[in-house]
Amino acid sequence: MSDLGRLKKTYVGYVRPVLEYVIAAWGTASKTNFQKIERVQNHSLIIMTGGIKSTPINSMESVTGLESLEDRRKKKIECQYTKFQHLANHPMYKLITNNPRKWLKRTNLTASAQHIHKSLELPDLKPDTPLQSSIDWPPWNQHNQIEIVKDIDGVTSKKSLIKRDPHCLTQNMLDKKYPSNYWIRSFTDGSASEAVRNGGGGVCIEWPVNSRSKISIPKGKYSTNYKAEAEALQEAAKVLVNSEATHHAKVVLLTDARSVLDALDSTKCQEVNALAQAITTLSLTASKLVLQWMPGHVDIFGNDVADQLAKEDGMMEQIQHNPSYNEAKTLINSALIVIGGKNTLSTTPRMPFTSSQGLSRSQFLD
């Protein structure tokens, strides 16, 4: 590891976590106090890059790959505010939904979040459902006929497959482990424009009788790649459950969404609760159910069909829905990445003064 790498690892692992303790509270901090925090990172950038005081901060951030604390502050404030909106039983929920009290010089979380929201041109992130609780355990752990496979012959990423001819390796895996004469093979794919908008999912099911079913699933105006992939799997599971051909049959769900498979193995991810339940229901009718990772775009016919369906769905008219909390976080992070962190908002907004007694500023000061 280079000197820059060691210094960056030290800063990110030990220094920045201390700086960012209760970072969401920076939304009400004065500009002077926030600049004191920024000064620490700026000095760290000089140490890491060997720059001098006149070296532009933006250049040093580009070299090190570090975000500015201002951008990180915006993300944390927006995410924290959105989270409180999803927690109807939390004490903060009433404070942010009612008209917050306005102070003489300092602002509040609601005002800061709304100002940042407007500057980033984010969509309406108001929740339509509260945060869900995660499942106590992956339900398929109780069913021996369900298996999640995240590799092909020990290879766990498409990058590692490149040296070994990914098409041949994947096709051999399908022919040997899931021969089409004995398995129902369901290929799924999902995509979204810029990974966060106009999502679409595609499903291509290959039945043992040499027939195929194609399913298109538009996923909404504000949909992430992750959600599109997960809901494509969920739709495939629902279609298979309703088919008599699935009863007592062997079924494999093939996806290139490794992150979704990882989430299904986790007990902390509530975003895949609906998918987990759909898979559990399918397992009750199938004699064997496997969720198999495979690389995308390696000239496998079923996967190519699903990919094309997903892209076509993304270009269709989309139904707008209120994003979930995790989708809202992705939209917030993406908004800052797209504009390179250089927003018009540079300071905490100052709110128009009103006192609780209805006095004007001059009357209040008198």
86-139 confidence digits (pLDDT tens):
787 888 877 777 765 555 445 677 777 877 777 776 766 666 556 655 555 555
333 and 202, same domain (yes or no): no
- Tell me the mean pLDDT in the region 257-285: 84
Q: Is residue 269 part of a domain?
A: yes
158 and 286, same domain (yes or no): yes
Q: Domain holding 179: CATH number?
A: 3.30.420.10
Task: Give the number of domains in the chain.
Answer: 2
258 and 355, same domain (yes or no): no
Q: Residue 56, CB half-sphere, CA atoms under 13 Å: how many? A: 4
At 256, the pLDDT band (50, 70, 90 cuts) reads very high
253 and 159, same domain (yes or no): yes
Q: Is residue 282 part of a domain?
A: yes
pLDDT for 285 beyond 80: yes
Global confidence as pTM: 0.65
65 and 83, same domain (yes or no): yes
- Among 3-12, 131-140, 253-262, 322-331, which stretch is predicted with the lowest mean pLDDT? 131-140
314 and 173, same domain (yes or no): yes
Q: Is residue 278 part of a domain?
A: yes
Q: What is the pLDDT of residue 219?
A: 59
The residue among 31 and 124 whose pLDDT is bigger is 31
At which of 321, 342, 357 does a domain end? 321
29 and 108, same domain (yes or no): yes
Q: What is the pLDDT of residue 57?
A: 92
91 and 172, same domain (yes or no): no
Q: What is the pLDDT of residue 194?
A: 55
Q: What is the pLDDT of residue 361?
A: 41
309 and 348, same domain (yes or no): no
- Among 56-60, 103-107, 120-124, 278-282, which stretch is predicted with the lowest mean pLDDT? 103-107
The residue among 111 and 251 whose pLDDT is bigger is 251
pLDDT for 330 beyond 80: no
Q: Is residue 295 part of a domain?
A: yes
- Cα–Cα distance measured from residue 234 to residue 181, given in angstroms and rounded to the nearest whole number: 24
* CB 181, CB 210: distance < 8 Å: no
Q: What is the pLDDT of residue 175?
A: 94
The residue among 143 and 119 whose pLDDT is bigger is 119
pLDDT in tens, 149-182: 999 988 878 777 777 788 899 999 999 999 999 9
Beta strands in the chain (DSSP E): 146-149, 183-193, 197-207, 211-220, 250-255, 288-293
Largest CA distance in the chain: 88
73 and 98, same domain (yes or no): yes
Q: What is the pLDDT of residue 25?
A: 73
- Cα–Cα distance measured from residue 362 to residue 220, given in angstroms and rounded to the nearest whole number: 50
Q: Is residue 134 part of a domain?
A: no
- Cα–Cα distance measured from residue 127 to residue 323, given in angstroms and rounded to the nearest whole number: 7
pLDDT for 76 beyond 80: yes
- Among 39-48, 94-103, 150-159, 259-268, which stretch is predicted with the lowest mean pLDDT? 94-103
143 and 217, same domain (yes or no): yes
Closest alpha carbon to 254 in 180, 312, 317: 180
Q: What is the pLDDT of residue 123?
A: 65
Q: What is the pLDDT of residue 53?
A: 85
Q: Is residue 133 part of a domain?
A: no
Q: Is residue 30 part of a domain?
A: yes
At 318, the pLDDT band (50, 70, 90 cuts) reads low
237 and 291, same domain (yes or no): yes
At which of 306, 321, 336 does a domain end? 321
Q: Is residue 314 part of a domain?
A: yes
Encoded tokens for 96: 């942010």
The domain in which residue 78 lies consists of 3-128+328-365
